[in-house]
Amino acid sequence: MPAHPTPLTADAAPSPPVQWLHRTKLTIILRLTILFILFLTTPATGSLRVIDSSSEPTTLHPHRSFDQYSDVIINQIYEGLIDYDSNGRLVPRLAVRWQELSPTRYRFWLRKGVRFHNGEPFDARAVQFSVDRQIHRKPPAANAMMLDPELRVEIVDSYTVDLVTRRPDARLPSTLPMFLMIVPPKYLSKVGDDGLERQPVGTGPYCFAGRTPGHSIRLSANRDYWEPGLPRINDVTFLFVPRNQQVDALMQGRADLVTKLRGTDSLTVMSGPNTRVTKRQEAVAFWVSLKNYDSPFSDRRVRQAVNYAVNRAHLIEYVDKGSSASLSTPPSSVENGYNAALKPYPFDLERARRLLAEAGYPLGFKVRVLASEDTADLVRAIQSQLKMVGLEMDLTIVPWQRFLRLAMEDKTKSRRPGRKWDMTAWITSNPTLNAFFMPTALFYSQSPYSIMYDPAFDQQLLSYVREASPKLRREKLNDLQTRAFNEAYGIYVAQRVQIYGLHWDLSIENHPTGMLTGRTLAEAYWNEQPGSLWDERSQPVKRTVRGRNATGNHK
């Protein structure tokens, strides 16, 4: 709450009558109260066209998703018990408060009066149903590995629940904002998983309004949302536009927000009369996973050699236009538990060649590499750098949706699958804001995206997860990152500065997770009094105003 204003005094001036001061103060308070109430009750207005990905989401079902682009749209429709705010702090969402009762038990007091988009009430039973469905469903939920496999809910009363694990789980509660979405029990029981996929129903600030396959997904404001005044924009359309056409769509007024702007495109956007950029160091990293079995990368010296052969400073300056910082481990510096003692591998071609010769590859070798369109520029630059030590990359670049399918090929067949990719390139966000997430997602053998198999790493990770002592947790997480660094499980390249390209009149915050969360979009709004850095009289192209009543062109 803001502090009450302190009245100013003037010694040389006569004091007004007490009654006059009292009436003036009451008038000011009354006017401010009316304005505040109007702000909270103002209906959502306008529309927003967002480009967050070049590909459609792989799913809109929260129990089938484990990829950042699907999760962005899911997070507009569904909600968890808690969330991260724009400062990276855990805050209430469907729970009004929570408390750790023991290392294996968290209590949550639930928000009353909340309804799903179909009118079904939210209560303790919905939480219990959602957890049971996610943990015990067949096949298992894609993201269930981020939660205790024996997680259960005990209902205390209609609006109080305990989340109970068999053993301590160091990942709680940071995994809950993204990986425990609450679904409507009656509706899902009636329509099944495929029905929920076709017509998602949650409690979130936006309702599913339809989709045009290959083109867009449309959302509309939840008129009965539990938080007054939100969302502040009436309609949101997610457009799926090829990477090389996204900036043009923004500059030509066919989109209002591009969330994955490349550093090379920043100046173009900043020079437009209607557009600007916002930047923030977020939990977003670019790196390349290395297959550590049935591959030349089985030898640690080879993995270390390619790390020494990559010139990170060159990649950041010339490919990414300075929109990154060198990375030493999979977690980035904004994540809780980040090991700041580790420093990036230096660029050292002689050392790289020496290590390759010692491992039996003095002339280099050829590898198969999978990359998405989002990583194409950086991967091609790395391809050129690694040629200097004799490494030839057979490069496959595909849209994100296909990238995920290919990355998961044959993973379900065994703990040590016969995958054909020696390297996979990733730009990943961290929805947990904790340093355990990236190593888990891409190095843990049970992850659907891992091309690694190292039982020692798996055991070390599980030891951290099951640790109850906060002090020992920090030590074990540091050790886990040290192992990932020394073993060179991947080429750790850069921590990204996330850049939004947006219409000048749009107000929205970059989120520290690197994702466009439901809360972020719900709080976005169009400025009522548009402004620009440019003097319109001197511009050959007049600005196009996008205000509260704008509807946009969705063609």
- What CA dihedral angle connects 12, 17, 23 and 26, to 10 degrees? 50
Average confidence (pLDDT) over 286-315: 95
2-16, 117-131, 369-383, 399-413: the lowest-pLDDT one: 2-16
CATH assignment at residue 259 = 3.40.190.10
If pLDDT is split at 50, 70 and 90, which confidence band does 401 have? Answer: confident
**Whether residue 185 is found in the same domain as residue 211:** no
CB 384 within 8 A of CB 369: no
**Whether residue 265 is found in the same domain as residue 374:** no
What distance in Å separates the CA atoms of residue 383 and residue 221, rounded to the nearest whole number?
A: 45
**pLDDT for 45:** 67
Nearest to 193 by CA among 65, 105, 79, 284: 65
Residue with more model confidence, 21 or 190: 190
Sign for the CA dihedral angle at 37, 39, 44, 46 comes to positive
**Angle at Cα 488 formed by Cα 487 and Cα 493, nearest 5°?**
155
If pLDDT is split at 50, 70 and 90, which confidence band does 177 have? Answer: very high
- For 308-346, letters b (16+ CB in 10 Å) and e give bbbbbeebbeebbbebbbbbbbbbbbbbbbbbeebebbe
**pLDDT for 416:** 56
If pLDDT is split at 50, 70 and 90, which confidence band does 538 have? Answer: very low
**Whether residue 301 is found in the same domain as residue 225:** no
**Whether residue 370 is found in the same domain as residue 516:** no
What does pTM read for this prediction?
A: 0.86
Task: Answer whether the bond into residue 121 is a cis peptide, omega within 30°.
Answer: no
Task: Give me the residues paired with residue 497 across strands.
Answer: 281
In a domain, 11, yes or no: no
CATH assignment at residue 187 = 3.90.76.10
Average confidence (pLDDT) over 196-222: 97
Average confidence (pLDDT) over 188-193: 96
If pLDDT is split at 50, 70 and 90, which confidence band does 242 have? Answer: very high
**pLDDT for 5:** 34
**pLDDT for 99:** 98
**pLDDT for 36:** 43
**pLDDT for 12:** 36
**Whether residue 516 is found in the same domain as residue 486:** no
In a domain, 14, yes or no: no
**Whether residue 190 is found in the same domain as residue 339:** no
In a domain, 37, yes or no: no
In a domain, 67, yes or no: no
If pLDDT is split at 50, 70 and 90, which confidence band does 418 have? Answer: low
Final residue of a domain: which of 201, 216, 237?
A: 201
**pLDDT for 426:** 93
Whether the per-residue pLDDT at 205 is higher than 80: the answer is yes
**Whether residue 249 is found in the same domain as residue 162:** no
**pLDDT for 44:** 56
In a domain, 93, yes or no: yes
**Residue 475 main-chain phi, psi, to 5 deg:** -65, -45
Mean pLDDT of the chain: 87
**pLDDT for 153:** 98
What distance in Å separates the CA atoms of residue 271 and residue 308, rounded to the nearest whole number?
A: 38
How many Cα atoms occupy the beta-carbon half-sphere of 70 within 13 Å? 19
Nearest to 108 by CA among 177, 167, 171: 177
**Residue 524 main-chain phi, psi, to 5 deg:** -70, 150
Nearest to 44 by CA among 511, 526, 520: 526
Final residue of a domain: which of 167, 201, 235?
A: 201
Whether the per-residue pLDDT at 311 is higher than 70: the answer is yes
Whether the per-residue pLDDT at 415 is higher than 90: the answer is no
In a domain, 359, yes or no: yes
Q: How many domains does the chain have?
A: 3
**pLDDT for 389:** 97
In a domain, 554, yes or no: no
Contacts of 443 (CB under 8 A, 6+ apart): 289, 330, 450, 452, 454, 457, 461, 484, 489, 490
**Whether residue 227 is found in the same domain as residue 288:** no
Final residue of a domain: which of 201, 225, 247?
A: 201
What's the Cα-to-Cα distance from 182 to each of 105, 132, 204, 416, rounded to whole Å?
A: 19, 11, 10, 33
Average confidence (pLDDT) over 260-285: 91
Whether the per-residue pLDDT at 18 is higher than 80: the answer is no
What distance in Å separates the CA atoms of residue 445 and residue 432, rounded to the nearest whole number?
A: 20
Kindly tell me the burial class for residue 519, based on how many C-beta atoms sit within 10 Å of its own C-beta (0-12, 13-18, 19 or more). buried
Hunting for tokens 């420093």 — which residue is that? 343
If pLDDT is split at 50, 70 and 90, which confidence band does 372 have? Answer: very high
Average confidence (pLDDT) over 431-458: 93
If pLDDT is split at 50, 70 and 90, which confidence band does 530 have? Answer: very low
**Whether residue 424 is found in the same domain as residue 350:** yes
**Whether residue 328 is found in the same domain as residue 356:** yes
Q: Which one of 147-151, 158-162, 424-428 scores highest in mean pLDDT?
A: 158-162
Sign for the CA dihedral angle at 370, 361, 356, 360 comes to positive
Domain hosting 513: range is 44-55+204-274+504-527
**Whether residue 451 is found in the same domain as residue 326:** yes
Whether the per-residue pLDDT at 532 is higher than 50: the answer is no
**Whether residue 236 is found in the same domain as residue 260:** yes
342-356 pLDDT tens trace? 999 999 999 999 999
Average confidence (pLDDT) over 534-545: 41
